[in-house]
Amino acid sequence: LFSYAGLDLNSAARRKAATRETTSPLKAWLSEHRKNPYPTKAEKIMLAIITKMTLTQVSTWFANARRRLKKENKLCWDSADDKDDD
């Protein structure tokens, strides 16, 4: 155990990486909500409980997933760039 100023430096090493099993509910939610891939806070809390992840981890997972899907052009939600100003 290493600590510096009361901080446990091993906590990051003990953090469990997300697996396919833990992220499958997140992927399922995302695939059902491709038109609006932004879960409400209540939905994030529910998904955090199901996946045994923190609310921050769930939020970060969705932000990264939206970024990945946008990069692959697989999302269909309206963005400000897509709208005409006519």
| Helix, strand counts (H, E) of the chain | 4, 2
pLDDT in tens, 27-81: 999 999 999 999 999 999 999 999 999 999 999 999 999 999 888 876 565 554 4
- Determine the pLDDT at residue 9: 47
- Determine the pLDDT at residue 22: 85
Q: Provide the residue type at 11 as one letter.
A: S
What is the rounded distance in angstroms from the CA atom of residue 75 to the CA atom of residue 68? 9
Using CA atoms, how far residue 26 sits from 13, 37, 70, in Å, is 24, 11, 17
Domain ranges of the chain: 31-76
- Determine the pLDDT at residue 14: 56
**Which of the listed CATH numbers 3.30.360.10, 3.10.129.10, 3.40.50.300, 1.10.10.60 matches domain 31-76?**
1.10.10.60
Better pLDDT: 59 or 9 = 59
Instruction: Say if CB 25 and CB 51 are below 8 A apart.
Output: yes
- Determine the pLDDT at residue 31: 94
